[in-house]
Amino acid sequence: MAELRLILGDQLHAGHSWYRDKRPDVIYLLAELRQESQYVKHHIQKLLAFFAAMRRFAEALRSAGHRVEYVRIGDADSALSLPALIEHAMTQWQCGAFAYQLPDEWRLDQQLRELAERLRALGKQVSCHDSEHFYGQREAVQDFFAGKSYRMEYFYRHLRKRHAVLLTVSGEPLGGQWNYDADNRERWDGDPAVPVESWRQQDLRSLHQEIIAAGIPHFGESLAEAFPWPTTRRMAQADLRSFIHHRLPYFGRFQDTMVDGQPWLFHSRLSFALNAKLLSPQEVVNAAVAAHADEPDRYPLAAVEGFVRQILGWREYVRGVYWARMPGYRQSNVLMHQRPLPWWFWTGETKMRCLQQAITGSLQNAYAHHIQRLMVTGNFALLAGCDPDAVDDWYLGIYIDAIEWVELPNTRGMSQFADGGLLGSKPYVSGGAYLHRMGDHCAQCHYAVNQKTGDRSCPFNSLYWHFIDRHADRWLVNQRMRPIVRGWQKRSDADRAAVLAQAQQHLLAIETL
């Protein structure tokens, strides 16, 4: 009896136990489906990266002696839904059994659960397997907190202890503290120089033409003639080695800084490889920890811990929050924000230099680092009261690493505070002062960062206080926000009125800012 095994586009884990044995009765199925290509409008590099990585993964399996069936985006079967494709394939190849790995997205999980019920009712054997990628199970966060506040720091420490990461022999945190975030907020002034690395140049023009011919909507620059992102495990491993050698020593100090014309700085650029499962989080964390152990002077503990916290802490945490709170989490909007995203989120044509740089870089590279996402584009969308549905779709479409399990908690939770504080104890908002402190964009901006009112005043300044004022009742019962509201309310009536009036002008003219 033949068994059909489904491999999703973000399940390209070469080390999975499925592939240890070559069985002639097992058929592996990979498919470039329209349902996955069009649930939001994607950046073209995201489509290229996933399709190219899937094709090369399929080729590697075939070369290893496995039977693989592959559906390309131009094939007629690509128009089928995922369940319909699987049912069609099982009939076509006379399969009596179906196996799949746990999906990382709720909608796919639901589709496959419902399909499994139908197949079992028809007498088919169905089995579900772990993806063997993450440190823990889906339920880890929900079980760990069990009704308590969802604070990442406690879960992070729990995982550090459980997996013996950056610990002394007695089980204490290396260096005497768990978190070195306070040491990782320096502004970069050009020293040390950002490493100049030659990215690989893959020619994906024929794949690009297939996507165009299939009529798949997309946006952004393709870079198809010299595609830089990893599409095989070997490429991803090379990127990991390059990051460890060239960038990790400085990652911590400068992870929050923003610099005109520098989209990468000292960030790892490993998120796509991780989320497609070309790399495992364990090997990435282990590589960073080993670098510090071998050369502690070159790889400071603060840099390594800051990087480890992103992978072992935050990445595992948001996945757990996603599975604990779906499907309702997708509709959370406690602030009742409804404003559409300004059109320039799709073009970068805004006079606000920080937003212009973050958006233009995203359109060019399908990438922005976490401070650009959180404190520039996300900060503006929250201050302006943009609909979190629209913000979600934008982040999910524009970034090469965006899959709903990681995008949704980061956007709707941390960035937009739409969950009312489940992820963060306060909203991540700021006026222009923070942006000026952490970056150099203000020097080239149309607006004046030190002005709160006037036609040339930085929109972030008045919009920040407008946001504080319109949700003041909520912030007064928030311990971390209450002092800000009290300070605002102590200002003169005339001062507050002028700032709020300026914010209203900016909101009325939001499409031309």
CA distance 470 to 381: 15
The average pLDDT across 345-363 equals 96
Check whether 73 has a pLDDT greater than 80.
yes
Q: If you compute the radius of gyration of the chain from its CA atoms, what whole number of angstroms results?
A: 24
Is residue 509 helix, strand or coil? coil
Parallel, antiparallel or unpaired: strands 26-31 and 2-6: parallel
The average pLDDT across 314-343 equals 95
CA distance 513 to 506: 7
Check whether 183 has a pLDDT greater than 90.
no
Check whether 198 has a pLDDT greater than 80.
no
Count the Cβ atoms, other than its own, within 10 Å of residue 484.
Answer: 18
pLDDT of residue 4: 98
Residues 6+ apart with CB under 8 A from 211: 44, 47, 48, 51, 73, 218
pLDDT of residue 146: 84
Check whether 13 has a pLDDT greater than 80.
yes
Tokens of 253: 């100090």
Tokens of 225: 């003639």
Cis peptide before 192 (omega within 30 of 0): yes
pLDDT band for position 189 (cuts 50, 70, 90): confident
pLDDT of residue 331: 94
Tokens of 330: 């997708």
Count the Cβ atoms, other than its own, within 10 Å of residue 478.
Answer: 15
Mean pLDDT for the chain? 94
Check whether 349 has a pLDDT greater than 80.
yes
The average pLDDT across 95-111 equals 97
The Cα-based distances of 341 to 167, 366, 375 in angstroms read 45, 18, 16
Cis peptide before 173 (omega within 30 of 0): no
Tokens of 102: 């746990």
The average pLDDT across 52-67 equals 97
- The answer to whether residues 391 and 383 touch, using CB atoms and an 8 Å cutoff, is no
The average pLDDT across 247-252 equals 92
- The answer to whether residues 171 and 161 touch, using CB atoms and an 8 Å cutoff, is yes
DSSP 400-421: TT--HHHHHIIIIIIIT-TTSS
pTM (global) more than 0.85: yes
Count the Cβ atoms, other than its own, within 10 Å of residue 343.
Answer: 12
Count the Cβ atoms, other than its own, within 10 Å of residue 113.
Answer: 13
pLDDT band for position 238 (cuts 50, 70, 90): very high
pLDDT of residue 481: 94
Nearest residue to 466 (alpha-carbon basis) of 382, 392, 390, 355: 382
Check whether 184 has a pLDDT greater than 80.
no
Widest pairwise Cα distance in the chain: 80
CA distance 510 to 513: 5
pLDDT of residue 415: 95
Cis peptide before 459 (omega within 30 of 0): no
Check whether 173 has a pLDDT greater than 80.
yes
- The answer to whether residues 2 and 24 touch, using CB atoms and an 8 Å cutoff, is no
Nearest residue to 365 (alpha-carbon basis) of 411, 399, 394: 399
End-to-end CA distance of the chain: 63
The average pLDDT across 380-406 equals 97
Indicate the DSSP class of residue 220: S
- The answer to whether residues 216 and 41 touch, using CB atoms and an 8 Å cutoff, is no
- With tokens 């993964």, the residue in question is 57
- The answer to whether residues 358 and 372 touch, using CB atoms and an 8 Å cutoff, is yes
pLDDT band for position 247 (cuts 50, 70, 90): very high
Count the Cβ atoms, other than its own, within 10 Å of residue 120.
Answer: 12
DSSP 90-146: HHHTTEEEEEEEPPSSHHHHHHHHHHHHHHHHTT-EEEEE--S-SSS-TTHHHHHHT
pLDDT of residue 182: 80
pLDDT of residue 191: 87
CA distance 359 to 258: 13
What DSSP element (H or E) covers 238?
helix 233-246
CA distance 459 to 355: 11
pLDDT of residue 195: 85
C-alpha of 417 from chain center: 16
